Amino acid sequence: MTRVVVRRLLEMALVMAIVVTIVFVIVRIAPGDPAAMMLGPDATAKDVADLRARLGLDQSLPAQYGRYVWGLLHGDLGQSIFLARPVTQALWERAEPTFFLTLFSILIACGIALPVGILSAYRHGSVFDQITSTVAMFAASIPSFWLGLVLMQLFAVKLGWFQPSGYGGPGASLGERLNHLVLPACALGIVSSALIARFTRASMLDVLGDDYVRTARAKGMSEIRVVLLHAFKNALIPILTVIGLTAALLISGAIVTETVFGLPGVGSLVVSAVLRRDYPVIQGTLLVVAGLYVLINFIIDMLYLVVDPRVRY
Amino acid sequence: MTAVTSPLGEDSVWRGLLRRPPAVGALIVLIAVVVLAAGADFLAPYVPSKLSIANRLQAPSALHLFGTDEFGRDVLSRTIWAGRISLAVGGAVVLVSALIGVTLGLMAGYFRRLDGPLSRLIDAMMAFPDILLAIALVAALGPSAFNVVLALGIVYAPRAARVVRASTLVIRELAYVEAAQALGVPTAVILTRHILRNLASPITVQGTFIFANAILAEAGLSFLGVGVSPDVPTWGTMIAMGRQFMDQAGWIMWFPGIAIVASVMSLQVLGDALRDLLDPRLARTT
């Protein structure tokens, strides 16, 4: 057990090292001088040289890499050029809307997907199963930002139930801030529910045919208890996996959706950083998001290990 | 992922597809979209860039089936022309990601020593959400159609690589590959003639899904203004423009969105059907 955990930890460290290297390389593949690109065509040669020195771009590549990794090991993601503050601080300030948006999207997605997935596996092949499978396929094909716009047009512009955009002014109450999140969270949640529903259905189908389910039925246990207590519990791990990975990948949808709804989250931070070529912010966001993904993956692997002692890597 | 060779010939794949109503529907939609995009010069009712201020923001009517935009341009014609760019970008992304993915996957699957490092590289690339990595790459490379294709090709390459690696691991152990090795057939020939040929099925299935994802991602990038130049109509840029007029002219953003949903859903339905036909082992579980 310990050996497996240590091996997975080492593997995770290796993957993170590659992630760091990719993030470091991305900025260096830019044709031309990143400092000149960031400052735009009006910058003087001295400004460019100053920025090059500040970013360490005047050093050799290995030296730059060493400096970058050294900084990361000390929790330093660099300085944002345009926001004039550390990237960690910029990310932290923008974390709340993204965190709540992801959380609510996942809750909405699970609220739709788990009952639908369980029921369509239970009534495998029925009309309900066929309809929900088609609807899931449809939902998975909708760009979440477009669904967000359509919801905004209907519920915010036409009906006026929700705020069309923003996150309340400074000092807005929590309730007001959450009101702003309803539509974007619905858009992301509906789109993500498709994948979770498909997985739930598949893993429920896998276990519903197992012997212990038959035994439970033979004992005269009620169907609800058989399905929820016995089958669902055992199907839960693959379902948790896909929920975890969806949460990590939601950031991709959140980037565009936050822009649609004018939410001041990590997504809109990175989009404005891209438009202003604020490379340290782009790098920092990439690193944090990829790190979360790797971490969630690791936690899920460990969960497998705890729940199912047969799993040995 | 272990189905190594297609159990069916090409003929029976077509016949199998035609026996599935959803797949037939998907094929019809896809053919219609491709024909419209390819023949836009003849099939679009209006010139997509023709301004007509007198006709601005007209609701859908017999004259303008999808209405007109803020400059009086015909939304149907623009949706058709935009489809050409969106589909071309999606198709090119499939080619680029297949090229990179097949190379990485073959190496990882065939050469045991490379498997560890390459698999970790693939894991690391998969850790980045697709749009985030794509906008970072486009930010570095500069926005252009070519760079969008390159960026998305890199983003989706690991998915192709994983599938290719898994299949190569199985094929490598087959008797005819061992025989070829024993006969001293050069490795390059084994890789291309004996292994690559048998990867057609998994690559086709994965390519269909990558195509669908690439259309979605390209729309997202264009919407954000970091995709193909904002002056070129793509489905994403049309939605971005239409967004400003959603309270008075929602159709400007509805129709490009519907075009995306129709194309992406058809590709996914087709991908599912192909997977069922070409890879029956997987079909049972999903």
Contact A255 B130 (CB under 8 A): no
Residues of the domain holding A171: 94-277
Measured in degrees and rounded to the nearest 5, phi and psi for residue B48 equal -65, -25
Which tens digits make up the pLDDT trace of B95-141? 999 999 999 999 999 998 999 889 999 989 988 988 889 989 988 88
For CA atoms A7, A9, A12, A14, the dihedral sign is negative
The count of domains in chain B is: 1
Q: What is the pLDDT of residue B212?
A: 94
Q: Which residue of A has its CA nearest to B212?
A: A141
User: Domain for residue A190, yes or no?
Assistant: yes
d(CA B283, CA B286): 6
DSSP A158: I
d(CA A26, CA A190): 33
Contact A289 B142 (CB under 8 A): no
The CA–CA distances, whole Å, from B161 to A211, B108, B120, B261 equal 37, 9, 12, 27
User: Domain for residue B50, yes or no?
Assistant: no
Residue with more model confidence, B43 or B146: B146
The count of domains in chain A is: 1
Asked if B3 and B205 touch (Cβ cutoff 8 Å), the reply is no
For residues B51-75, one letter each, b for 16 or more C-beta atoms within 10 angstroms of the residue's C-beta and e for the rest, the string is: eeeebeebeeeeebebbbbeebbbb
Q: What is the pLDDT of residue A313?
A: 47
User: Domain for residue A112, yes or no?
Assistant: yes
User: Domain for residue B48, yes or no?
Assistant: no
The mean per-residue pLDDT over the stretch A12-32 comes to: 86
Closest CB to A294 among B127, B135, B140: B127
Q: Which residues of A touch B139 (CB under 8 A)?
A: 273-274, 277, 279, 282
Residue B1 has pLDDT above 50, yes or no: no
User: CA of A230, closest CA in chain B: separation in Å?
Assistant: 20
Q: What is the pLDDT of residue A22?
A: 92
Closest CB to B129 among A150, A252, A274: A252
Closest CB to B286 among A202, A260, A277: A202
User: Domain for residue B56, yes or no?
Assistant: no
- Flag the least confident range among A118-127, A128-137, A211-220: A211-220
d(CA B283, CA B55): 51
CB neighbours of A146 closer than 8 A, spacing ≥ 6?
B219, B239, B253, B257, B260, B261
ipTM: 0.85
User: Domain for residue A66, yes or no?
Assistant: no
User: Which tokens hold the place of B160?
Assistant: 């192709």
CATH number at residue A188: 1.10.3720.10
- Which of A7, A146, A245 would best serve as a mutation to test chain B binding (most B beta carbons within 10 A)? A146
Contact B269 A137 (CB under 8 A): yes
Residue B286 has pLDDT above 50, yes or no: no
Contact B136 A274 (CB under 8 A): yes
User: Domain for residue B57, yes or no?
Assistant: no
d(CA A13, CA A170): 40
Which tens digits make up the pLDDT trace of A266-283? 988 998 888 888 888 999
Please report the residues numbered 205 through 224 in chain B whose beta carbons come closer than 8 angstroms to any beta carbon of chain A: 212, 216, 219-220, 223-224
Asked if A8 and A16 touch (Cβ cutoff 8 Å), the reply is no
Mean pLDDT of chain A: 84
Q: What's the number of CA atoms in the CB half-sphere (13 Å) around residue B55?
A: 15
Residues of the domain holding B176: 21-43+62-285
Contact A149 B219 (CB under 8 A): no
Whether B281 and chain A come into contact, CB under 8 Å, resolves to no
Contact A286 B253 (CB under 8 A): no
- What number of C-beta contacts closer than 8 Å exist between A and B? 146
Measured in degrees and rounded to the nearest 5, phi and psi for residue A83 equal -85, -10
Contact A255 B224 (CB under 8 A): yes
User: Domain for residue A219, yes or no?
Assistant: yes
Residue with more model confidence, A193 or B286: A193
Q: Which residue of A has its CA nearest to B282?
A: A202
The CA–CA distances, whole Å, from A281 to A74, A78, B217 equal 17, 8, 21
Asked if B228 and B89 touch (Cβ cutoff 8 Å), the reply is yes
Q: What band does B227 get if pLDDT is binned at 50, 70 and 90?
A: confident
CATH number at residue B73: 1.10.3720.10
Q: Which residues of B touch A283 (CB under 8 A)?
A: 136
Q: What is the pLDDT of residue B2?
A: 42
